[in-house]
Chain A
């Protein structure tokens, strides 16, 4: 996984997604540097999740190109894109509810496994080794996200915060180069949010992967992001380091309305 072909792990070039007459994402170009934490923010309905769905291949983009590590992945099926190294979590947690935590993570490793029907039935040495390795990896990942001891619990029985972390463990099991997190702190209380923020920061430090983040919570975004892109009505309205974005009147306007923006300016002056 370590080889890097491009300065940017992910580039989107003028990505546009239309649903009938509605343009959900318009001409969006971003460049995500290797091993960065890159956030996409914006008010509700700004097209953030649609953008994620375009990157992961769930939606076919109407126009534009998506380049992962120097290779175009536009138009590929979701399962191929995971193999290429992008994995994701969901805004409204979408675990395999009736599978155990361990099984969830092991499913995540699916694209890196080879065993087929015959391997499973005849229990070949290769299959057995692969299965054991996957199990080990899944156990380690569960420990990494702090779910040691919950391996055999059904996903649906885990508390909310743990479900979030289990989803991240599942995404990590596919050994991604780029991890897409869709509002990982949604529905969390302040202390849980802080924990999660630290955890995301750790992902980069310990595993060396790039994180592309959609987030609502400004504090989280401002704390950990290297670069932020702000969307409104499917278009990029600002981009830059957290402090630059924070001061941008268009951003404040998009979030809080025009009045707030002028007020903010007045206060700053």
Chain B
């Protein structure tokens, strides 16, 4: 904002109108109604209401944030409450209009049920309008309060509320997973009510979240720093123990979780493998590849063709024999598709790779290849992987194959990252011309990145085919490439743990919210925009990026980065 900072009454109207319009949008696309049955806190707060008033809260937050830079805190709070009031007025206006005019002819979602929801529990129209205004103002007020609270507290509250939200959403999953376990019953009874968290549970999680966050920010919680101070031998054994413990938990997970959660984790895992691969291409080497799904498809179809026992059966290999072929073919495709784009950069590369992804999809759908790969009918009866007599049939069992894949691929990515090859990739990402002038062979370095990334996708595709038992062209849409790219960005581009976090958020969370499916793209879009604005480095930034973007860690004492003072003779 280069303009002179100011905050006037018309700004309040503006912020309020934005909040109102976004809220109306959320209502009209049907989100509020779809989410209305998802109670977070027993009979009180549901996801629909959260979706309805989230815009008001956010705009109240932004308004207070801007206003307090110019005016007093009191004014800022007042402004945010007024913003909320205006936002509430928009919702009330929609309610009024919807009751008296048949909006349904244009907006299908404006059902009587929806209008009932907007009444917020009030019978009479007048009462409903007043309640909408009041709730709007109160939510806006809290948004403002959130902006004015010390960062430590607002952050802690955010963590607490996120945990409450997450636990509320996970109710069904928890009861599916642990419902029949004796130890869980009393806990479950305490935490959850019929629908949503019980008040006791909600408060418990809020306190836990806030407490944990405050404890962390107090600086006393620094396990990594404490370990770093230890002598090398002790440090090594501790990190070894941590790894072993982590692995043990990962190995034991399906036993505790059961079938449905394992299924979700397998899907997330397949995306993690793909994410780790694309992370090499995009995150390390900086080559924006939008056709990544092509290699996933090649891996899947290779396994499908080689192992299927159905109509399209060919050689009928086992999964383990087909797997290396799938990875190899995907890698080969990575090189072949890499060659024509060697001279391209940035946007051009993105467009061309986007085209490749589509070509593969169209070829798979074509009549020409239908006798071999089944066209739109796909390939059926792909046998499950088998070791000796043991068949990886259930999701709990496929989980281990995915886990092995992640560990393998993660290890490779981790080794490459800090090696000569990884440095060359990163140099390429930073400045291609200089990288070449430093002796890096562009062709082989780029092809190596494409090949490695494609091989990972091929592995993911192979596991995907075996997991589903049948594959269809529509599983290999552009949207897969976009999902993988988004999860890398959300996690933190170039960061390995970021891929895991990104996949859990973008692939795992939607599985928890089935109502969510229709709004998935809306959510992705909003999340990506929000990430770019608030946290462009991602949730778990690559180490160096984190340092670059945070101003908390100064350079060596007494030295500050300075801009060059240009003077020429």
Contact = CB atoms under 8 A, between A and B. Distances in A.
Contacts of A88: 437
B94 to A, nearest CB: 47
Contact of A99 (B430, B560, B568): B430
A100 B544 contact: yes
Interface stretch (B25-33, B214-222, B346-354, B438-446): B438-446
A79 B434 CA distance: 10
Interface string A67-91: 0000000000111001100011010
Interface string B407-434: 0000110011001111110110011011
Interface residues of B, number: 43
B420 A131 contact: yes
Contact of A77 (B426, B436, B545): B436
B544 A187 contact: no
A95 to B, nearest CB: 8
Nearest to A174: B439
B113 interface: no
Contacts of A111: 438-440
A237 interface: no
B438 A99 contact: no
A148 to B, nearest CB: 10
Given A103-B426, A159-B559, A160-B564, A82 B420 contact: no
Given A78-B436, A103-B426, A107-B424, A117 B452 contact: yes
Interface residues of A, number: 51
Contacts of A157: 547-548, 555, 561
Given A107-B438, A111-B438, A154 B548 contact: yes
Contacts of A123: 415
Given A117-B448, A159-B559, A56 B421 contact: no
Contacts of B547: 154, 157
Contacts of B548: 98, 154, 156-157
CB-CB nearest 3 A-B residue pairs: A111-B439, A120-B419, A82-B439
Given A88-B437, A174-B438, 15 more contacts: A58-B433, A96-B427, A99-B427, A107-B438, A107-B440, A110-B439, A115-B419, A117-B448, A120-B415, A134-B420, A156-B561, A157-B547, A159-B560, A187-B568, A217-B569
Interface of B: 411-412, 415-416, 419-424, 426-427, 430-431, 433-442, 448, 452, 544-545, 547-548, 555-556, 559-569
Interface of A: 56, 58, 77-79, 82-83, 87-88, 90, 94, 96-100, 103, 106-108, 110-111, 113, 115-117, 119-121, 123, 127, 130-131, 134, 149-150, 153-154, 156-160, 170, 174, 186-187, 189, 216-218
